[in-house]
Amino acid sequence: MSRIDDIFQPGYKALIAFVTAGYPNYKATAKIAVALAECGCDIIELGIPFSDPLADGATIQKASYQALQQGITPEACLKIAADIRKKIKTPLIFMTYYNPVLNYGLKDFCKSCVKAGINGLIVPDLPPEEGLELETITRKSKLDLIYLLAPTSTENRINIVASSSRGFIYLVSLAGVTGTRNELSPELQSFVKRVREKTTLPLCVGFGISTVEHAKQAAALADGVIIGSRLIQLIEEDAKLISIKSFVTSIRQALDTQKNTGGY
Amino acid sequence: MVKNTWPDSSGYYGKYGGKFVPETLMSALSELESAYAEALADAEFQQQFNQLCKDYIGRPTPLYYAVQLTAKSGGATILLKREDLAHTGAHKINNALGQGLLAKRMGKTRIIAETGAGQHGVAVATVCAMLGLECIVYMGEEDIKRQAPNVTRMELTGAEVRPVTSGSKTLKDAINEAIRDWVSNVRTTHYLLGSVVGPHPYPMIVRDFQSIIGRESKEQVLAVYKRLPDYLVACVGGGSNSIGLFHPFYDDKDVKFIGVEAGGEGLESGKHSATLATGKAGVLHGTKSYLMEDEHGQIKETHSIAPGLDYPGVGPEHSFYKDSGRATYVTVDDKQALEGFRLLCDTEGIIPALESAHAIYYAAKMAKGLGQEILIIVNLSGRGDKDLDIVTKALGMGK
């Protein structure tokens, strides 16, 4: 069992936090990660900034850009991860576009990830059809390669992802890019149901989860929620991290009241 | 028939190509692939496309023997494939028409597109007006400034031009925005990609619709000269006009392909768009191909005086041609492109697009020293009206 598998216990609702590594600056990320863990996040997703983040909306684009402007490289992200790993035991996942990984070298990258204490990878522009090489390497390195599904995924694609994803499946809540939204997508319920019929893997919902209410609604259907853009906004608004801490704490409480619902 | 059977069933040209896109788009790409295969097999669709190529675009475009340019260059015979005479003034309309008809067939009501020089945007806006489709064009803010006449043309034909302010504010960033729009509206929207880049099946579809350039050229050169040309020369940004010319000659091994990339302010300056000359394999905009990146895998900002060549990637089929040696890729810098521009204006009274001027310069240079029996076909991919502002500034004309 990977460290990520351990998080998903029957009835438990996982809270996964995304932050861009190196945003707002190199030193801040470790502090933010520790705060997130203390407030009840189960998994922390660190985004490696990329020049052309085409699955991301305005908030994460801006955070990536700002991190890049400060010279944050994949190498720097690995150092940040290693630093966080010394402080907390929370599973860490890298969210990265494929090109920086390809440039680093797939084997070398996975080796460095393991060394830095990373437990899994999410690569939004790498569908399973293109991911075979990285899948083989990550399996050997005991890293979980987490694939995504979207409401537009066909039954056939759900089968492909269900048989290749490890750790959990990342359900993209809506047809769109990352970013805060006013409401959850009305099709989320039927989407989660379609996937649930085909897999026993934990299902975590992300994209557009921006409020306690959203998190509650999503957790009633799935096994975990992923929050990103809203956290970036809160970091931007309040560098002392008081806002983000109180937001994450309230999400944690809401999820704990959802225990024993859903299907996992 | 062309024996080049690339791409394979996974959308690869050798080791290049593929579908590196967010999951949300994967089903749409499969849908597009099936719809395209059906359209190819449908005689009525083909008939409709061919008829509109003739009556709407004005095809076939001439293959013109450039007598004065040939004389001035002092060597090989230079023939110009006059894509500048196609409706809207560039080869881009061939693909826009083909995909527009395909989108209509698929029941899509909304079309999005990216544009660099504006030629693709104009072509898409034009076709959408003709077919009654909603049209949104993403264009980098920098390019909107550089290619103002094309913005007006798009707006006149009913398109909404959305300025893109991220990154280098050019073609690369316009593609990012178009993909983000597509992810968000994929059920109703067709992304009418304008070059042989992006995820499979785009490089194949765009190539096929642009191959009319090469097929006509072959017929035309055989009709007059009773033989195949020795060289094909075309500029390469994403690479659609060049693949369109090259592809139908793929199996004619004696016909040499020369792709001309934008050398910008010179390769040593770092300010250029010579992807095949200086880049390496990576993944950008859904495809594995040569690209320009820094040592950390971040995509580099590019430069060219020709906005249509200002792109850090290139079509996967070009990468395949480069590695296999089927095509040779060279660079022409901004200054030389301006020389090529002037040369064609002076000798033939034709104002070429700055993109095409790169190919003109190189062809004229290589013609020198070759015998007149050597035939060079240059793809004059577009006309230069859109570039008058850039050119007058660069040449210090007017005030």
Interval B85-119: pLDDT, tens: 999 999 999 999 999 999 999 999 999 999 998 99
Beta bridge partners of B380: B82
Contact A228, A251 (CB under 8 A): no
Contact B51, B74 (CB under 8 A): no
Mutation to test the B interface, candidates A99, A149, A157, A173, most B Cβ within 10 Å:
A99
> What does each of the 399 residues of chain B score in pLDDT, given as a tens digit?
445 789 999 999 999 999 999 999 999 999 999 999 999 999 999 999 999 999 999 999 999 999 999 999 999 999 999 999 999 999 999 999 999 999 999 999 999 999 998 999 999 999 999 999 999 999 999 999 989 999 999 999 999 999 999 888 989 999 999 999 999 999 999 999 999 999 999 999 999 999 999 999 999 999 999 999 999 999 999 999 999 999 999 999 999 999 999 999 999 999 999 999 999 999 999 999 999 999 999 999 999 999 999 999 999 999 999 999 999 999 999 999 999 999 999 999 999 999 999 999 999 999 999 999 999 999 999 999 999 999 999 998 865
Pairing of strands B16-17, B63-65: unpaired
Distance from CA of B185 to the nearest CA of A (A): 7
Distance from CA of A168 to the nearest CA of B (A): 15
Contact A205, A188 (CB under 8 A): yes
pLDDT at residue B165 in the model: 93
Classified by CATH at the fold level, domain B13-54+91-206 comes out as Rossmann fold (3.40.50)
Q: Is the pLDDT of residue A263 over 70?
A: no
CB contact under 8 A, B172 and A57: no
pLDDT at residue B3 in the model: 56
With a CB cutoff of 8 Å and minimum separation 6, the contacts of B342 are: B395
**Catalytic residue list contains B381:** yes
pLDDT tens-digit map of B182-221: 999 999 999 999 999 999 999 999 999 999 999 999 999 9
pLDDT at residue A262 in the model: 52
Considering only alpha carbons, which residue of chain A is nearest residue B26? A153
Which chain A residues are closer than 8 Å to B295 by Cβ?
A: 103
Q: Is the pLDDT of residue A48 over 70?
A: yes
Q: Which option is the CATH number for A3-256: 2.120.10.30, 3.40.50.720, 3.40.50.300, 3.20.20.70?
A: 3.20.20.70
Distance from CA of B140 to the nearest CA of A (A): 14
**Catalytic residue list contains A45:** yes
Classified by CATH at the fold level, domain B60-89+211-394 comes out as Rossmann fold (3.40.50)
User: Does an H or E element contain A136, and which?
Assistant: helix A132-141
Which chain B residues are closer than 8 Å to A61 by Cβ?
A: 166
Which chain A residues are closer than 8 Å to B176 by Cβ?
A: 52-54
Q: CATH 3.40.50.1100 in chain B, residues?
A: 13-54+91-206, 60-89+211-394
pLDDT at residue B193 in the model: 98
Mutation to test the A interface, candidates B298, B299, B301, B311, most A Cβ within 10 Å:
B298
Which chain A residues are closer than 8 Å to B293 by Cβ?
A: 99, 103
CB contact under 8 A, B179 and A54: yes
- Average pLDDT value for residue range A27-33: 98
Would you call the peptide bond into B7 cis, given omega within 30 degrees of 0 as the criterion? yes
Q: Is the pLDDT of residue A8 over 80?
A: yes
What's the rounded Cα separation, in Å, for the pair A145 and B97? 41
- Among A6, A38, A52, A56, which one carries the catalytic annotation? A56
pLDDT at residue A260 in the model: 59
